[in-house]
Each structure stands twice: as structure tokens, then as C-alpha cells.
Amino acid sequence: MDDAEAIKRCQQGDREAFRHLVERYQKRAVGHAVAILFDRDDAEDAVQEAFIDAFQAIGRFDTSRTFYQWFYVLLRNRCYKLTAKRRPTENLDDVQLLASQPGTVDDTRWALEKALHSLTPEEREIVSLKYFSGLSYDELATHLQIPRGTVMSRLFNARQRLQRKLMRFEFHEGTKL
């Protein structure tokens, strides 16, 4: 079953059809939520709540968009609500990033994770969508519902902050973001 068929069936009251959408997008959604929240448990909660929101609102789904573009807005809102509620993490040594690249030296990965964690959730989001999910500027603009120029500006500023943080960890040699 493809997404269009699953959505159509959901809109007709078929609860089981929604399972297709959850199974197809859950892993991707958790990865994106972790990039924003930096906590797997919170990310899984946000994803679950966003899927509940999506199920409840599926009747209003705009078929001119892809399901994940629409769902991502719900997920992002859930992540930012959780971010607003919680205190900042004090122990950065415990931070684990799901999207860590295999083969990276542990010290390098630790420095990158710590630097990413020091960014705002919005900055982490745009950096992770660009570099871990491989989205283009146009895809980022669609995904984040902002103009392409704003994407470029935000990404530039986030990279600059990340580079400054990495330089503090003496991690800047050979690293270009």
C-alpha cells in the first residue's frame, strides 16, 4: 500500500491503514526528533504524540503535500513544546546522538555531539536535516516551511556557531562544515 492509499483509507475510517504510515516513517521521525531534543526517550514520546495528532487530523490532510512533510510540522511542534517544558541538560558527557557517523573516532564524536548540543534546538534541527538527512536547500525550505533564503541564512549562522564551538574543543583541524 502506498501513502496516498493509506491516507485515503484512514480518512474513510480504516484505523489499520494508519499502521502503514507509522511503520514507514517512525524510524526517520525518531532520528529527526533526537536531533532536536537530544534525548531518545523524549524523542520517542514526541514521535508517538505527533502520530496521535496526525491520526486525529488526517481528515484535514492536504493531498498536495507529502505525508511526511505534513507530519514533520506536527512532530516539530511536539518537540518544541517538550523543549520549552524541560530544563537544559547539565551533564553533556551523557549525550548520545543517534545520527553519529560510523567510523568516527570517539573523541571526535564526543566533541561534535557536545558542540551540537550547545546549539539551539532550531540550529540543531537545520544542521541535522542538512547533514544527517541530506536535504537540499529547497527540501529544507519545504520541510521547515520557510523561504530558501532564510534556510541559507539560518544554516550559515548555525554552521558558524558550530564551528566556533568545535574550535573551543580544538577539533577544527581538517573539519569543514
User: Which among 39, 58, 85 is the end of a domain?
Assistant: 85
Q: How confident is the prediction for the chain on average, in pLDDT?
A: 81
Give the pLDDT score at 86: 63
Q: Tell me if 177 is assigned to some domain.
A: no
Give 39-80 pLDDT, tens digit per residue: 889 999 999 999 999 999 999 998 888 899 899 999 999 998
Give the pLDDT score at 144: 86
Give the pLDDT score at 171: 47
Give the pLDDT score at 30: 93
Residue 91 DSSP one-character state: -
User: Where are any strands of DSSP class E within the chain?
Assistant: none
Least confident interval from 37-51, 124-138, 147-161: 124-138
Single-letter code of the amino acid located at 8: K
CA atoms of 144 and 151, how far apart (whole Å):
8
What phi-psi label fits residue 13: left (phi over 0), alpha (psi between -120 and 50 degrees) or beta? left
- Residue whose cell numbers read 553519529: 100
Number of domains in the chain: 2
Q: Tell me if 175 is assigned to some domain.
A: no
Give the pLDDT score at 107: 65
Q: Tell me if 73 is assigned to some domain.
A: yes
Pairwise pLDDT comparison (19 vs 171), residue with the higher score:
19
Pairwise pLDDT comparison (175 vs 85), residue with the higher score:
85
C-alpha 71, offset from chain centre: 12
CA atoms of 177 and 68, how far apart (whole Å):
27
- Residue whose cell numbers read 524523542: 43
Q: What is the CATH number of the domain that holds 26?
A: 1.10.1740.10
* Residues 13, 74 share a domain: yes
Q: Confirm if 72 and 46 have CB atoms less than 8 A apart.
A: no
CA atoms of 73 and 95, how far apart (whole Å):
25
Return the H-helix or E-strand segment holding 144. helix 137-144
Give the pLDDT score at 67: 94
* Residues 19, 52 share a domain: yes
